[in-house]
Chain A
């Protein structure tokens, strides 16, 4: 059972465009993390959100945690080719902090 659904699965855009990717669930999460993974490498942690409604910014990346802590979004402003990669969301279900539940990822290609 896939508890975290990410959309879109694939996204190809031109440099300078804005984009939003989504991470949705019917379950409540105590925290949610976003990672970026490049080919041949391990996922790199970008941010952790823990409070419903929380917004965090990391340069051109804006992360939001839904009020009910069931969903999250990642918005990238003025995308650059260096943003290319697989974006993964993962979270701990409320009441289970033993293992992260993972989405399948959004594969982003930013073309120069």
Chain B
């Protein structure tokens, strides 16, 4: 039973480019969460999605960031026109339902040069 998968594990982008981070939830899970983690800081909630719907995006910056979870395929976190401050580890988690335990992927480490 495969766990949560994220790719790529490492991503390097120049300032102004776009970054696309992918997350495939655990089998049977239809709820996906994205988090950002900076060194020496805690996990910061960004967005919560269910298939084809954004349930809560209160933690996501209003500009340049977007997320989707289509009916088919992985969830995508998209960052347009990246800046150095976007450099961080981005984690995806999935759960079988709201209010249930969340299982995390290994993360994508984004470096903006």
Q: Report which A residues bind B (CB closer than 8 A).
A: 30-31, 33, 35, 40-45, 48, 88, 90, 92, 97-100, 102-105
A97–B98 touching, CB < 8 Å: yes
The residues in B between 71 and 113 inclusive whose CB is less than 8 angstroms from any CB of A are: 91, 93, 98-99, 101-107, 109
B65 CB within 8 Å of chain A: no
B48–A45 touching, CB < 8 Å: no
Number of interface residues of B (CB under 8 A): 23
- Name the one of A31, A43, A45 contacting B99, with C-beta atoms under 8 angstroms: A31
- Which A residues lie within 8 Å of B58 (CB)? 99
A-B contact pairs, 21 of them (CB 8 A): A31-B99, A40-B109, A42-B93, A42-B104, A42-B105, A42-B107, A45-B101, A45-B103, A45-B104, A48-B101, A88-B42, A88-B43, A90-B43, A97-B98, A98-B48, A98-B55, A100-B33, A100-B45, A100-B102, A103-B42, A104-B42
- Name the one of B91, B98, B109 contacting A98, with C-beta atoms under 8 angstroms: B98
CB distance from A101 to the nearest CB of B (A): 9
A33–B101 touching, CB < 8 Å: yes
A45–B43 touching, CB < 8 Å: no
- Sample of 19 further A-B pairs with CB below 8 A, known A48-B101, A100-B33: A30-B99, A31-B99, A33-B101, A35-B104, A40-B107, A41-B106, A42-B93, A42-B106, A43-B91, A45-B102, A88-B43, A90-B102, A97-B99, A98-B55, A98-B56, A99-B33, A100-B45, A102-B42, A104-B42
